């Protein structure tokens, strides 16, 4: 409970602090924020600005105190929560960051950013199964998408679960049957997991259905390299390099990998 006059004094100091903050004048910013705090220290915006100025002064300990207060006063405030999460993560206090991120997801279950923050923290702490579960929950909002499926495939491979990775690719193939890159990806995983015959069959099917794709030749090159048939491996590398649909950057990368063998052929 503050009087109208006190309220005017609070906002006068608060807006002066914002003005000085824009100018980079930390001393004057702190002066006016502290003056405002003598009137009302339970204002979330005030605590947030105090945290912000201490962060700019590289005083993370004091910044954390004020960001915690701001979040406690307004736990549903997106900016207060995300700033606190970032600060916890920077200080390697991942469990505290995860607790706040879980609350944020509870308050904002329809925002993709809520999932992204918590997933990033789970991956940082190697809680891959929980990250996968969140990706699956996110799919209920976004539907099946390449970006989410690729993330899940990567996590399945990290957790040594190629069967689920292949099942995820099959979902993409079912949704996008004319996208040869998904069939190639399935072949690449089969090749990595010791199933070269199945991989080769898929590569041949893509060669028939999409012969203009440069990536099928790269996959075939890797297949023959693993079969210790360097002549065929280099043949398909050359076919990929000659393909006009392959961008310059991957061509240069391929050249860097195979330059010695290519020179021996010239």
Q: Among 15, 50, 18, 20, which residue's Cα sits nearest to residue 34? A: 50
Query: According to the model, what pLDDT value does residue 258 have?
Result: 66
**Mean pLDDT of the 232-244 span:** 89
Q: Among 123, 118, 124, which residue's Cα sits nearest to residue 91? A: 124
Are 83 and 51 spatial neighbours (Cβ–Cβ below 8 Å)? yes
Which residue, chain included where needed, has tokens 């995820």?
168
Pair of tokens at residue 82: 């995300």
Which residue, chain included where needed, has tokens 């009302």?
40
pLDDT in tens, 186-229: 999 999 999 999 999 999 999 999 999 999 999 999 999 899 99
Query: According to the model, what pLDDT value does residue 229 have?
Result: 92
Are 168 and 152 spatial neighbours (Cβ–Cβ below 8 Å)? yes
Flag whether pLDDT at 245 surpasses 80. Answer: yes
Task: Quote helix, strand, coil % in the chain, to nearest 5.
Answer: 80, 0, 20
Pair of tokens at residue 55: 């962060």
Flag whether pLDDT at 247 surpasses 90. Answer: no
Flag whether pLDDT at 260 surpasses 70. Answer: no
Average pLDDT, whole number, for the chain?
92
Query: According to the model, what pLDDT value does residue 89 have?
Result: 96
In this prediction, residue 266 has a pLDDT band, given cuts at 50, 70 and 90, of very low
Are 224 and 251 spatial neighbours (Cβ–Cβ below 8 Å)? no
Query: According to the model, what pLDDT value does residue 262 have?
Result: 52
Query: According to the model, what pLDDT value does residue 249 have?
Result: 83
**Mean pLDDT of the 93-109 span:** 97
Flag whether pLDDT at 13 surpasses 90. Answer: yes
Pair of tokens at residue 132: 């996968």
pLDDT in tens, 22-78: 999 999 999 999 999 999 999 999 999 999 999 999 999 999 999 999 999 999 999
In this prediction, residue 230 has a pLDDT band, given cuts at 50, 70 and 90, of confident
What share of the chain has pLDDT > 70, as a percent?
97
Q: In angstroms, rounded to a whole number, what is the distance separating the alpha carbons of residues 97 and 137?
A: 20
Q: In angstroms, rounded to a whole number, what is the distance separating the alpha carbons of residues 2 and 6?
A: 6
In this prediction, residue 185 has a pLDDT band, given cuts at 50, 70 and 90, of very high
Q: Which contacts (CB < 8 Å, 24+ apart) does range 216-219 have?
A: 216/180, 216/184, 217/243, 218/254, 219/184, 219/187, 219/188, 219/191
Q: In angstroms, rounded to a whole number, what is the distance separating the alpha carbons of residues 147 and 153?
A: 10
Of the CA atoms within 13 Å of residue 111, those in its CB half-sphere come to: 13
pLDDT in tens, 149-170: 999 999 999 999 999 999 999 9
Contacts of 164 (CB under 8 A, 6+ apart): 156
């Amino acid at each position: 409970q503050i009087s109208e006059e006190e309220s005017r004094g609070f906002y006068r100091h608060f807006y002066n602090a914002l003005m000085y903050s824009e100018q980079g004048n930390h001393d004057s910013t702190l002066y006016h924020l502290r003056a405002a705090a003598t009137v009302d220290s339970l204002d979330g915006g005030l605590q947030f600005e105090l945290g912000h100025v201490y962060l700019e002064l590289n005083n993370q300990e004091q910044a954390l105190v004020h960001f915690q207060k701001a979040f406690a006063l307004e736990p549903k405030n997106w900016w207060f929560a995300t700033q606190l999460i970032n600060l916890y993560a920077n200080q390697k206090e991942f469990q505290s960051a995860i607790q706040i991120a879980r609350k944020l997801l509870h308050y904002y279950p329809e925002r993709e950013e809520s999932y992204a923050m918590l997933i990033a923290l789970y991956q940082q702490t190697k809680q891959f199964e929980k990250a996968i579960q969140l990706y699956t929950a996110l799919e209920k909002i976004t539907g099946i998408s390449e970006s989410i499926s690729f993330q899940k495939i990567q996590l399945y491979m990290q957790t040594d679960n190629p069967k689920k990775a292949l099942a995820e690719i099959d979902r993409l193939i079912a949704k996008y049957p004319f996208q040869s890159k998904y069939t190639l990806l399935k072949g690449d995983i089969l090749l990595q997991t010791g199933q070269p015959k199945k991989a080769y069959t898929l590569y041949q099917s893509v060669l028939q259905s999409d012969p203009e794709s440069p990536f099928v030749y790269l996959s075939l090159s890797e297949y023959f390299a693993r079969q210790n048939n360097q002549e065929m491996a280099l043949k398909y590398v050359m076919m990929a390099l000659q393909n006009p649909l392959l961008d310059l950057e991957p061509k240069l990368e391929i050249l860097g990998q195979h330059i010695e063998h290519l020179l021996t052929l010239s």
